[in-house]
Chain A
């Protein structure tokens, strides 16, 4: 399919356009509410906030914090009161969604989910049907924060991985470009003006932000270092010492996808729900016997770092399970910094090897 040419939308047209879209579907956008910027359903009185990275990642659009998977109902059998019958039904999600205003890091986070939730014959239909029904519109960054490091984990502040449309801030508004075929099909139906010369300006904006990113060594290519440090208890103890196991890092992370499933019942009726889980919690791996393979927070931190920078990349063609949004750094009550941990792990391995070679 030939992609439609780039379009342009002026700042003052954006909100009316989005509200128009919201008539036929759910529009999620970064909205200022209660002192935070969160992805919420857009309403006429919403205060759209496109200044930078939202406080929350947009992952709840595809993997809600809490979602019902099944519902069940127990009933007495007529005539045989000692017998109960049981009915179980799946609850499938079905809402068309336009997810507007995610940053390239968050959009790329969806590709981390896709590899796990949409893996060939093993498809999670809840995730996949949300993904199929959600059009993702990313906005290229213009003003990276100090905690941003997408450029160090293989990302791009002007990138469009995981998105269907890419908006780029230009003088007076945004250019809009289609990334995927369905993004193209959508764009063709919109009455938006042609971008003309603004497309070139957009390219320059994206080039400029690439140059403006804070610099630092790449965090790619650490899989083996992290593994070689596996049995170095002292290292993980020192790295995890400050951690409170509160889990804010996983809840805000656009790539953390682990979940729990629990039943909630009310009399004869109930639902099986899935909820976000947090690998830094003691209960995450606690077994019925009382045995816990990750008893201490050092072991849990080792798995957290290991999963993002070693295990996941080994399983998925070198792609890290970190997109460099920096929310875990900006929001950690104990000021942990995942970048520093990976760098420390690497230099620890180098030190050891030098020592061994002497």
Chain B
């Protein structure tokens, strides 16, 4: 990873938005390609790595590359509208120019996970980082054991990737459960908080890894639920969010103790996090 650092750490590659997908009322997905065809062709990343997207004149923010490295026609980012930059990104259309600094950070330990059962637990926009790993595993299906996904959102209309859900629900080679906090007419899946549904589903922790991402409070209770199901801390993987600027471990704002989320993360096992001071 370290040798892929660019010579000017802060100079983004120019990129073009190819497609915009309206996922929910506050999440949009952007499919982008780098303008330099050589850069696009030689672009390599691993599932879980992130990019800094620039809207020049507004700034930069961090988003996970949620398309898998096994599908390189474009890089996909899903963006929840929460503030200044994300607001401006949501106004962009196909053809518009943005800057991309990627890949940054570490990745999921997808090699160490080979041969194991995988339990994905995603909440809200936290589904984005799981998607890259899930699709990568589905593209390399024979390398992994049982795949289980629990995806939760506030309400049915807050579920991103709705166009993919029928496939995930219907596939014989994975088990998918969906849950919402608040139901709506026509909703036939679970209603309830993610950690509670997870405990009902009770996936086996034997020879299994759990991967979870979502709001801090959801992660906390999901980890408790995973413990009660017998998952050890070094088999619970999560990906963290911290406010970032440089993305390369210099500007000094994203640390938890000695670890910089931008450079040493965003992916950590719960065992690694427990060795750091508790500052979520």
Contact status B11-A90, CB under 8 Å? yes
Residues of A contacting B56 with CB < 8 Å? 72, 74, 86, 88, 263, 265, 270, 272
Measured in the bound complex, the distance between the Cα atoms of B249 and A116 in whole Å is: 8
Whether A291 is near chain B, meaning CB under 8 Å from some CB there, is yes
B280 → A minimal CB distance (Å): 6
Complex partner residue of A122 from B11, B58, B60, B249, CB under 8 angstroms: B249
Complex partner residue of B246 from A88, A261, A270, A291, CB under 8 angstroms: A261
Measured in the bound complex, the distance between the Cα atoms of B248 and A257 in whole Å is: 14
Task: Tell whether A299 pairs with B279 under 8 Å between CB atoms, given A88-B99, A277-B251, A293-B242.
Answer: yes
Task: Tell whether A124 pairs with B257 under 8 Å between CB atoms, given A259-B251, A288-B86, A293-B280.
Answer: no
Q: How many residues of B contact A (CB 8 A)?
A: 45
Contact status A277-B2, CB under 8 Å? no
A215 → B minimal CB distance (Å): 31
A15 → B minimal CB distance (Å): 37
Beta-carbon nearest neighbor of B240 in chain A: A293
Measured in the bound complex, the distance between the Cα atoms of B59 and A227 in whole Å is: 34
Measured in the bound complex, the distance between the Cα atoms of B246 and A265 in whole Å is: 20
Whether A83 is near chain B, meaning CB under 8 Å from some CB there, is yes
Q: Which of B239-256 contact A (CB under 8 A)?
A: 241-243, 245-246, 248-256
Beta-carbon nearest neighbor of B259 in chain A: A311
Which B residues fall within an 8 A CB radius of A?
2-3, 5, 7-12, 14, 54, 56-61, 82-83, 86, 95, 97, 99, 215-216, 241-243, 245-246, 248-258, 277-280
Which A residues fall within an 8 A CB radius of B?
69-70, 72, 74, 83-86, 88, 90, 116-117, 119-126, 227, 230-231, 257-263, 265, 270, 272, 274, 277, 279, 284-289, 291, 293-294, 299, 303, 306-307, 310-311, 314-315
Q: List 19 A-B contacts (CB under 8 A).
A: A83-B95, A86-B14, A86-B56, A88-B99, A90-B8, A121-B3, A122-B249, A123-B7, A124-B250, A125-B8, A230-B279, A231-B278, A257-B252, A265-B57, A279-B253, A284-B253, A287-B243, A294-B279, A307-B255
